[in-house]
């Protein structure tokens, strides 16, 4: 009897290993594929949604825009066509959350530097102060790669409408006038169809990690 078991010991071990591998593969195959939410205005905190959009349940996308980057180049949606991108709002003289956000965005830039599908877009919320020259100085200080990351300035009302009506990122009070001021820590993940796929606190490491995980999921959805 002992010789019988000895004879088939190797077979039993190999069979067990193969069985485990098959069970693991079946388990993974049966797991639902991870997908990201397509955010609509009705799904976001109403305080962050313009009253004209609070009823919108589908088809929300980021509006067209025309702004100027750190090199004096006009940047529009055409520059982001067919790209995934991460957007935020900042100003160069901000002493509080912006330095942390910029540092974290620079970290993201490093992680996507070889990825042609992903870009970054930072909007100045004090465009009168943040001239092209000021943005260029800031970009050089922070290690901005011009091929991956646009810091944009331009018409204040347009920028504020983008924040409130497109990116659903800040409270709706104010009209983009001279005394209007927005400040948000949000990083916003936008897909190739200009749809919002995620919101993240740009000051928190754990949220940056979650953003990068979601970015991988979003990219995988385009490779099917």
Contact criterion met (CB below 8 Å) for 187 and 87: yes
CATH number at residue 194: 3.40.30.10
pLDDT exceeds cutoff 70 at 14: no
My answer on whether 54 and 19 are in the same domain is no
Q: What is the pLDDT of residues 83-115, one digit of tens each?
A: 999 999 999 999 999 999 999 999 999 999 999
Q: What is the pLDDT of residues 126-179, one digit of tens each?
A: 999 999 999 999 999 999 999 999 999 999 999 999 999 999 988 765 666 665
94 is in an annotated binding site: yes
Give 8's pLDDT tier (boundaries 50, 70, 90): low
The Cα 96–Cα 99 span in angstroms is 7
Does residue 204 lie in a domain region? yes
pLDDT exceeds cutoff 80 at 201: yes
Report the predicted TM-score, pTM, of the whole model to 2 decimal places.
0.83
Does residue 133 lie in a domain region? yes
My answer on whether 27 and 49 are in the same domain is no
pLDDT score of 203: 97
Overall domain count for the chain: 2
My answer on whether 27 and 108 are in the same domain is no
My answer on whether 25 and 48 are in the same domain is no
Which residues touch 74 (CB under 8 Å, ≥6 apart)? 66, 67, 68
Does residue 181 lie in a domain region? yes
Report how far apart, in Å, the C-alpha atoms of 10 and of each of 14, 17, 22 are: 6, 11, 18
Does residue 96 lie in a domain region? yes
My answer on whether 45 and 151 are in the same domain is yes
Which structural domain range is residue 86 located in?
A: 41-221
My answer on whether 92 and 1 are in the same domain is no
pLDDT exceeds cutoff 60 at 23: no
Which residues touch 62 (CB under 8 Å, ≥6 apart)? 77, 87, 162, 166, 167, 190, 194, 195, 196
19 φ, ψ to 5°?
Answer: -65, -40
Contact criterion met (CB below 8 Å) for 109 and 149: yes
Does residue 131 lie in a domain region? yes
């Amino acid at each position: 009897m002992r010789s019988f078991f000895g004879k088939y010991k190797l077979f039993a071990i190999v069979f067990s290993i193969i069985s485990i591998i098959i069970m693991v593969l079946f388990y993974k195959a049966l797991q639902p594929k991870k997908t990201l939410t397509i955010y609509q205005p009705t799904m976001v905190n109403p305080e962050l949604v313009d009253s004209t959009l609070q009823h919108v349940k589908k088809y929300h996308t980021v509006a067209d825009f025309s702004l100027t980057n750190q090199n004096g180049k006009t940047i529009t949606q055409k520059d982001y066509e067919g790209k995934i991108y991460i957007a935020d709002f900042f100003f160069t003289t901000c002493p509080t959350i912006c330095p942390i956000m910029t540092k974290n965005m620079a970290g993201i830039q490093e992680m996507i530097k070889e990825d042609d599908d992903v870009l970054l877009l930072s909007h100045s919320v004090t465009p009168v102060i943040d001239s092209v020259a000021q943005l260029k100085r800031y970009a050089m200080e922070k290690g901005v790669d011009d091929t991956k990351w646009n810091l944009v300035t331009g018409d204040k009302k347009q920028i504020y409408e983008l924040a409130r009506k497109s990116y659903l990122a800040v409270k709706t009070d104010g009209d983009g006038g001279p005394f209007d001021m927005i400040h948000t820590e949000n990083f916003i993940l936008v897909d190739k169809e200009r749809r919002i796929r995620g919101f993240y606190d740009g000051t928190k490491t754990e949220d940056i990690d979650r953003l990068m995980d979601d970015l991988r999921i979003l990219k995988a959805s385009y490779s099917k």
